[in-house]
Amino acid sequence: MSGFDTIVEGVLLGGVYALFALGLSLIFGIMRLVNLAHGDLILLAAYLMLSATTALGLPLAAASLLVVVTMFALGFVLQRLVLERVLGDDILPPLLVTFGLSIVIQNGLLLGYGADSRRLQVGSFESSSVTLAPGLSVGLAPLTALVTAIAAVALLQLIFYRTSLGRAFRATADNPAIAQLMGVNERNVYAIAVGLSLAVSVIAAVVFGIRASFDPSIGPARLLYAFEAVIIGGLGSLWGTLAGGIVLGLAQAIGGRINPEWQILAGHLTFLAVLMVRPRGLFPARRA
Amino acid sequence: MSVESIRIPASREERPADLPAWQIRVGTRLSRVAAVAGIMLVVALAALPAIASRNLIQDLIFVLTMLTLAQLWNVLAGWGGLVSVGQQAFVGLGAYALFAGIVMAGLDPVAAIPLAGLFAALIAAMLGPLLFRLEGPYFAIGSWVAAEALRLICAQFKSLGGGTGMSISPGELSQMFGLKAVQALLGLRPAAARDVLVYWLALLLAVLVTLGIYGFMRSRHGLALAASRDNAAAARSVGVRTARIRHVLWIAVAFATGMVGALVYLQKARISPDAAFSVTDWTAYVIFIVVIGGVRTIEGPMVGVLLLWGLVTYLAQHGSLYLVVLGTLAILIMLFMPKGVWGAAARRWQLQLFPTQRWLGRS
């Protein structure tokens, strides 16, 4: 059963990577912004969750709600005060500003929380498991991660294709100037998009923080996994991103099974291999 | 460094001799003064080990190697539009190639430096076609992934210390080319003489890279590169081979970056994958230097590296706080002074020490 275990483990791990990737994919799709601080913002959300559950003593659900609202507001303000000023035809300024932000957040967390590994404590939930088939039991926490990822993709799809906000998102992504002529407030749409991206990242942070321990230095690696999931899945498709996350999770699980040192490397090499064979990703959006 | 002029005839027929010709000027009076001052500065820096302390020499090795990396990143990202966040890959590859050359092949360290550059260039040539499939901002993260993959691969080589790294003993470096001569010339012990030798090589590399980039940006290839970044389709329509010029630039920058990496680790004599492929040390600092000094100028990185040196001297003992300050400073400069300190000063006072802009005027 060990081979099958590895596959299950990889698929479940993929759920977490897909959650990392959704926020990144969202703002790239709408505003063509690659946020190099994405991984560190996920870490920031995880530390805020830690503070909310321990220092404030809130239960997980209430803490999540509080942090989601906080991160949404942070994203909105970040876009209006900082990112908005550097978005334009030149790709250099937004990249450099978000890279600077990544360094500031990473080292700010180091100052505030120290370099120790931390974990979100949720009682017995993190160690309990369910038996799916005779001889095959999976941890409840990883399974929740995958289910959450699927739910998050479904919810985002719903927002994108069934609400007026989603219509504004899609219109602005296609042509910001014409969207403005039709009465869409471009500045607000962008600010909401960044806020939504960070709110989704909180879900990623919760699911990740329960599963594994984290410290301030691992933000950039989360960004790379998120990015790999987006590119493997294919740009412009949220379900593709979910699939990309699962492919990445599988690659890491299989690589790690062969040799524990190869786990991360196997993911990176799979990404490069996909780039070589299918540069548009495995499941690209139908319209170009 | 004098006036570079291209005569453009007023019409197809021979122009009457008394009419003024249009000239494209690049040089300025100030730039000619700066050229003389620059030569004097380089001569003074070359003579410095005769009187300077070992600490100052080590500081200047840091300044010169960071300056070289900043100039290289500036031409790649600023002028070329290839915003790489993975240049630590080539520092690391150069460093590892140097150690492999010394430990496994028994090469002379000084001779191994250009070979380390060639090795970095070879890997860059292989990665280039893959990474260039990622458009604009995605190229940035793609190059970072490639650097991480290379770091993990280097950690697999047990003979080079695996994940924990290795040191080269001073004995292995004592037979290095030129070391005995430096020892005899300045009357130094081997370790101090090695610093001086590395310092001179770093100075040589910084001067060659700066002049090389300056010459390149003033040539028609430099114009072609800037055109490819500003509007690739328009550049192609006038005959610029945009893909080729970017690929060649990527490989050339990797070659020089690899040599810098080899030089830095020749001085440190100790290597580990985490340090040699560190994104903070080899890319974040370099980006700060360029952003603070001024993107798309030759002078900007020079100003930026001096500011970084000052900040390192006064703030480095504060660790994380120092990086928070540096990052905040870079963001603020990007928001309110996007051309950097030098760019703003140059615009205000019309300063051009290494002019690359072309002015059209009557002779």
Instruction: Give pLDDT tens digits for A233-260.
Output: 988 788 999 999 999 999 999 999 999 8
Mean pLDDT to the nearest integer, B120-140: 91
Residue B145 to residue A272, Cβ atoms within 8 A: yes
Closest CB from A104, A224, A264 relative to B144: A224
pLDDT tens digits, residue range B332-351? 999 999 889 998 888 888 77
User: Does the residue B15 lie in any domain?
Assistant: no
Look up residue A250 and give its two tokens: 């599988």
Distance of CA A106 to CAs A23, B41, B60, B89, Å? 18, 39, 29, 21
Rounded CA gap, B217 and B210, in Å? 11
Look up residue A211 and give its two tokens: 């599963």
Q: How many domains does chain B have?
A: 1
Look up residue A228 and give its two tokens: 């790999």
Q: Please count the other Cβ atoms lying within 10 Å of the Cβ belonging to residue B237.
A: 9
B112 and B253 Cβ atoms separated by less than 8 Å:
no
Q: For residue B11, what pLDDT band results from cuts at 50, 70 and 90?
A: low
User: Does the residue B207 lie in any domain?
Assistant: yes
Rounded CA gap, A34 and A102, in Å? 12
B287 touches chain A (CB under 8 A): yes
Question: With contacts defined as CB-CB under 8 Å, which chain A residues touch B130?
Answer: 272, 275-276
Asked if the model's pLDDT at residue B20 lies above 60, the reply is yes
Question: With contacts defined as CB-CB under 8 Å, which chain A residues touch B320?
Answer: 107-108, 110-111
Quick one: pLDDT at residue B363?
58
Which of A78, A11, A195, A235 minimizes the C-alpha distance to B137?
A235
Closest CB from A28, A102, A279 relative to B133: A279
Quick one: pLDDT at residue A249?
95
Quick one: pLDDT at residue B94?
97
Give the B window 181-240 contacts with A, CB below 8 Å. none
- What's the gap in Å between the CA of B136 and the closest CA on chain A? 7
Quick one: pLDDT at residue A286?
60
Q: For residue B189, what pLDDT band results from cuts at 50, 70 and 90?
A: confident
Q: In chain B, helix, strand, coil percent, each to 5?
A: 70, 5, 25
Residue B234, domain CATH? 1.10.3470
Which of A273, A227, A276, A267 minimizes the C-alpha distance to A247?
A267
Residue A92 to residue B327, Cβ atoms within 8 A: no
Look up residue B31 and give its two tokens: 């730039």
User: Does the residue B6 lie in any domain?
Assistant: no
Look up residue B226 and give its two tokens: 């800037």
- The sign one gets for the Cα dihedral A47, A52, A55, A57 is negative
Q: For residue B1, what pLDDT band results from cuts at 50, 70 and 90?
A: very low
Which of A111, A107, A124 minimizes the C-alpha distance to A217?
A107
Asked if the model's pLDDT at residue B143 lies above 70, the reply is yes
B323 touches chain A (CB under 8 A): yes
Rounded CA gap, B307 and B316, in Å? 13
pLDDT tens digits, residue range A35-78? 999 999 999 999 999 999 998 888 888 999 999 999 999 999 99
Of the given ranges (A82-86, A121-125, A154-158, A200-204), which has the lowest mean pLDDT?
A121-125
Look up residue B311 and give its two tokens: 């900040």
Closest residue in B to A268 (Cα) is B149
Please provide the DSSP assignment of A207-225 as one string.
HHHHHS-B-GGGHHHHHHH
Return the higher-pLDDT residue of B32 and B199. B199
User: Does the residue B238 lie in any domain?
Assistant: yes
User: Does the residue B47 lie in any domain?
Assistant: yes
Mean pLDDT to the nearest integer, B7-25: 61
pTM of the prediction?
Answer: 0.90
Residue of B73, B135, B331, B337 best to disrupt the A interface, most CBs of A under 10 A: B331
Q: How much is the mean pLDDT over chain B?
A: 88
User: Does the residue B14 lie in any domain?
Assistant: no
Residue B335 to residue A96, Cβ atoms within 8 A: no
3-state secondary structure of A138: strand
B139 touches chain A (CB under 8 A): no
Cβ–Cβ pairs < 8 A, chains A and B: 120
Domain that holds residue B162: 22-362
Closest CB from A95, A97, A261 relative to B331: A97
Residue B137 to residue A227, Cβ atoms within 8 A: no
Domains defined for chain A, CATH in brackets = 2-113+141-277 (1.10.3470)
Quick one: pLDDT at residue B3?
47
